[in-house]
Structures are given as C-alpha cells and as structure tokens.
C-alpha cells in the first residue's frame, strides 16, 4: 500500500509539475520548509517512484512533425503473450509517441506523430502488416484543444 502523501509533499509535487527546473532553495521557499528537508522529501518521492523523472516538453511541430494522428488497433488474439508482444513492438516504432492498452473493441490506441501524411501512411502500412494485427482504424488530429501533461493536483486524492 502506498504511503500517505502529506500537504507538504503535495505542494512539492505541484510546484515540480509546474516547473521541473526549479532550484531546491526556491522550491523550499515556495512550500514553506528549509532546503535540506525539502531535498530529502524530493529524493524520497523520486526513490518511491512518485516522481518518475524530469524532461523537457518539446514542440513537435517546430521539430518538423506536422501530423498528429491516432491509430486504433484490433488484434487477432488477446492472449497475454500476444498483447505483450504487440506492446514490445510498439516500443520499436519511433513515430508512436504514446500507447495505451484498452478494454473493449479496440485493443490498443496509439498516438503518433509524423512529418507528413506520406510518412504516416507508410507507418500504417507497416502497422497493419505486423503480426497478430486484425485491423487498424486511424483518425488525423485537426487541432489539439488541451495539452496538460500533468497529474491533476487540485481536488486529488489525499
């Protein structure tokens, strides 16, 4: 059972989600504790896996990835070994940005980025030919209306 996260830890998490490059001194001032215990708390949150890591958020369009699309994948078999094999294959496709295994009619949904439609079509051709893939439905993104790569902290579980 995960440990209970107190109000100070929640404040630390909220601040780090907002600014992962904040210094420990600034973080400690914002959450109202001195720097050494703040650093200990951050390290504990990291060691426990609550903080999974730090990264820069890149603008895919400015890097030449103009197309964003979803691919809904239905497999022939949903045996555990087949699901795992497909998930491992997804790790080798660089155009797949995110992947979720789903319940229901669709087994996996992939969020893909590509420089252009031709590149995405080539990927879909490869995807549909992958072992155990029954069919693939795709949807091109017209516009992203929300981009919130954070865990909601307001009103979240204590």
Confidence bin at 147 (pLDDT 50/70/90):
confident
For residue 155, what pLDDT is reported?
Answer: 60
Q: Where in the chain is the domain with CATH 3.30.70.920?
A: 61-140
User: What tokens were used for 89?
Assistant: 């294959």
Alpha carbons 130 and 118: distance in angstroms, whole number: 19
Confidence bin at 1 (pLDDT 50/70/90):
low
* pTM for this predicted structure: 0.83
Residues 116/67, Cβ–Cβ less than 8 Å: yes
Q: Is the pLDDT of residue 4 over 90?
A: no
Burial of 120 (C-beta count, 10 Å sphere; 0-12/13-18/19+): buried
Domain 61-140, what architecture? 2-Layer Sandwich (3.30)
Q: Stretch 142-151: mean pLDDT, rounded? A: 89
Alpha carbons 79 and 75: distance in angstroms, whole number: 10
Q: What is the pLDDT of residues 21-80, one digit of tens each?
A: 999 999 999 999 999 999 999 999 999 999 999 999 899 999 999 999 999 999 999 999
Q: What is the pLDDT of residues 11-31, one digit of tens each?
A: 999 999 999 999 999 999 999
Those residues with Cβ within 8 angstroms of residue 98's Cβ, 6 or more apart along the chain or in another chain? 110, 111
Fold that domain 7-48 belongs to in CATH? Arc Repressor Mutant, subunit A (1.10.10)
Residue matched to tokens 């549909």: 128
For residue 153, what pLDDT is reported?
Answer: 80
Three-state DSSP class for 97? strand
């Amino acid at each position: 059972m995960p440990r209970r996260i107190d109000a100070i830890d929640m404040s630390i998490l909220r601040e780090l989600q907002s600014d992962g490059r904040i210094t420990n001194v600034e973080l400690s001032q914002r959450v109202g504790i001195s720097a050494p215990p703040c650093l200990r708390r951050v390290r504990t949150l990291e060691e426990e896996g609550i903080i999974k890591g730090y990264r820069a958020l890149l603008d895919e369009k400015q890097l030449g990835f103009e197309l964003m699309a979803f691919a809904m994948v239905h497999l022939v078999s949903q045996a555990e070994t087949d699901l795992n094999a497909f998930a491992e294959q997804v790790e080798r496709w660089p155009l797949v940005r995110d992947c979720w295994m789903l319940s229901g009619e669709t087994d996996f949904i992939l969020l893909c980025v590509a420089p252009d439609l031709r590149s995405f079509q080539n990927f879909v051709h490869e995807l549909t030919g992958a072992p155990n893939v029954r069919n693939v439905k795709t949807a091109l993104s017209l516009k992203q209306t929300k981009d919130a790569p954070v865990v909601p902290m307001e009103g979240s579980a204590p």
